[in-house]
Amino acid sequence: MAIDSEVLVVGGGLAAITAAISASREGADVRLVSHKASTLRQASGLIDALGYVPATEPAKPLREGPPTAGRELDRDEWPDPEGPLSDPFEAIDRLPETHPYRIVGADALREGLDLFDELAGDAYRGSHTDRNALLPTFGGSVKPTARYPAAAEAGLASDDRPALIVGFRSLTDYDARAFAGRLEAAGVPFDVAGAEVEFAEAFRADAKITRLAKALDHDEEIDGTPAREALAKAVAPHLHDVIDDEGGVDRVERVGFPAFLGDQEGEAVRAELADRLGADVFEIPMGPPSLPGLRLEDRLYDALDAEGVRFETGNPVVGIDSAADGTIETVSVDRKGREVPYGADAFVLATGGLVGKGLDSDREGVREPAFGLHVEQPADRYEWFVDDAFGDQPYARFGVRPDERGRPLDADGAVQYENVFAAGGVVGGADVAREKSASGVSLATGLVAGRQAATEANQ
């Protein structure tokens, strides 16, 4: 006997959650299954829509023959991407025709962002405008993004108030002074200084950031002083570190920290620090391990629960069982060795791309392993990439190619299964890393796939 629902969503990231909630709001009974804990916990927590339009044609014609596999005999050249874009929507027409935004349309992106705004509530900012915000990120670059955590708000690069960036010697992958220097080099319109402070030295050198967050959440005592007070005291001597162009010294009006200011109690931690420092406090989004990603995961799974979506994490979908009429009837979930069928009227595949393991590859080819959907790719793997790491890498756009309803197409361009819809990283056609479009693609395709799956199930 199969475990049944009207719509079954496979995956656990932003696209899967968006699809599940969209389908549920169309009246479908929805179940979500994902193999591993959500990849949201590796995400920066920023919600990008479209930051750049990268060039798809090289500056000069590519050399004949296969790439040189790193030997750079005849290096190819690519123009810089267009951007940072101020308005993601107006640039969609300049993306390639096979881009998911071109297929599902700008309205899907807009509605996807609307849904996200509703789910994220007051934890996120940016919904007041179509325009991108510019956020300083961990690497010292400034990133165009559509939505950002409230915790990052005081850090906007468009804000001209002087800023202090705080770092800790024991957080080895985060150097505040280098970070401040890179921001200045990027031409931000404010004065900035970086300072290393002593707070985290109370912990062991490679203490996890979850440890620091927990100490701040619970305001644990550090050598007799509550953690939040201890952190403020460590930062206070540096509030006048910023020197302006004329050599004058101003007290900073905002202080940026690596994103570990509490997990459950983030708002209270920031408020207390701001109060003690007499300055706004903000977090700088980091790579994994990412507390903003963890917080977003918590919030979105609470939303799934509130929506009445059933969900389970821990077991992979490993195969399908299709009916004679070209639809899928059940998928097999591998429950620690035993395959259990899960039936549905419609399925959404949102298992991620090459990093999220929704696409699998070896030197023979690139595959979509769960449903065996068609993934367009050159037969010769030496045509999967170009020499320039920052060029238009064909592999970056690998994935399933959907129709306008989100249904993946086979090699001949026909719908592969009438009741299967794809969303997020498993969908090809976008180069999300260069475009800064990963979240937007997940929201837009997730919304369409969820709605269309519900429509299919209701028939």
Partner 1 sequence: MTRHTADDDEHGESNETDAAVEAAGDSGGDGNALAERPATDGGVESATGGSDSMELDPDAYDPVDVFPGGDLDLREGADSCYKCTSCDTSCPVAEVDDEFPGPKFQGPEQWRLKRKDDHDIDESVMSCSNCMRCDDACPSSVPLSQMHNEARGQFVDEQMEKLSVEYVRNRILANYRTSARLASLFPKTASFAMNFGPVRWAMEKTMGIPKERDFPEFATETFREWWKARGGAQVQNPDKRVAYFHGCYSNYNTPEVGKAMVRVYEHFGYEVMVPPQGCSGTPMFANGMLKDARRHAETNVENLVEAIGEGADVIASCTSCSMSLRQEYPELFDIHGIEDLSEHTFEALEYLRIHEDLDGELAGSSLADEQSFAYHAPCHARNQGLARQAVETFRDVDGVHMEDVGDSCSGISGTYGWKEEKYEKSMAIGEEMFEHMEAAEGDVGMTECPTCAMQMEHGTGYEIKHPLQLLEETVVA
Spatial CA neighbour of 459 closest among 129, 110, 95, 26? 26
Q: Strand pairing partners for 320?
A: 331
From the list 63-71, 101-109, 319-327, 387-395, the region that binds partner 1 by CB under 8 A is: 63-71
- The interface with partner 1 within residues 148-207 (CB under 8 A) comprises 203-204, 206-207
CA-based Rg of the chain, rounded to a whole angstrom?
24
Which of 61, 223, 338, 389 is the binder for partner 1 (CB under 8 A)? 338
For the chain, the straight-line distance linking the first and the last C-alpha, in angstroms and rounded, comes to: 23
Q: Least CB distance from residue 37 to partner 1, whole Å?
A: 5
For partner 1, which is the closer residue by CB, 129 or 264? 264
Q: Least CB distance from residue 424 to partner 1, whole Å?
A: 14
Q: Strand pairing partners for 135?
A: 143
Which of 141, 210, 225, 322 is the binder for partner 1 (CB under 8 A)? 210
Say what the alpha-carbon torsion angle 121, 123, 124, 125 is, to the nearest 10 degrees: 100
- The interface with partner 1 within residues 367-426 (CB under 8 A) comprises 381-382
CA–CA dist 350, 422 (Å, integer): 6
Is 329 a binder of partner 1 (CB under 8 A)? no
From the list 32-40, 100-108, 149-157, 404-412, the region that binds partner 1 by CB under 8 A is: 32-40
Give backbone dihedrals phi and psi of 82, rounded to 5 degrees, phi first.
Answer: -80, 125
Which of 186, 323, 355, 433 is the binder for partner 1 (CB under 8 A)? 355
For partner 1, which is the closer residue by CB, 298 or 376? 298
Is 66 a binder of partner 1 (CB under 8 A)? yes
Q: Strand pairing partners for 284?
A: 258
Which of 25, 26, 62, 68 is the binder for partner 1 (CB under 8 A)? 68
DSSP for 97-160, written as a single string: TTSHHHHH-HHHHHHHHHHHHHHHGGGEE-TT-SSPEEEE-TTS-EEEESBEEGGGGGG-TT--
Q: How many CA atoms within 13 Å lie on the side-chain side of 387?
A: 19
CA–CA dist 103, 424 (Å, integer): 13
Give backbone dihedrals phi and psi of 61, rounded to 5 degrees, phi first.
Answer: -55, 140
From the list 19-27, 33-41, 174-182, 249-257, the region that binds partner 1 by CB under 8 A is: 33-41
Is 312 a binder of partner 1 (CB under 8 A)? yes
- The interface with partner 1 within residues 281-300 (CB under 8 A) comprises 288-291, 294, 298
Is 39 a binder of partner 1 (CB under 8 A)? yes
What 221-229 contacts at long range (C-beta under 8 Å, 24+ apart), as own/partner pairs, is 228/269, 228/272, 228/273, 228/276, 229/276
Q: Strand pairing partners for 342?
A: 3, 331
Q: Is residue 159 a contact partner of residue 135, using CB atoms and an 8 Å limit?
A: no
Which of 80, 335, 360, 410 is the binder for partner 1 (CB under 8 A)? 335
Which of 25, 276, 357, 405 is the binder for partner 1 (CB under 8 A)? 357
Q: Which residues contact partner 1 by CB under 8 A?
A: 1, 3, 33, 36-37, 39, 41-42, 65-66, 68-73, 203-204, 206-211, 214, 218, 264, 288-291, 294, 298, 305, 310-315, 333, 335-338, 340, 355-357, 362-363, 381-382
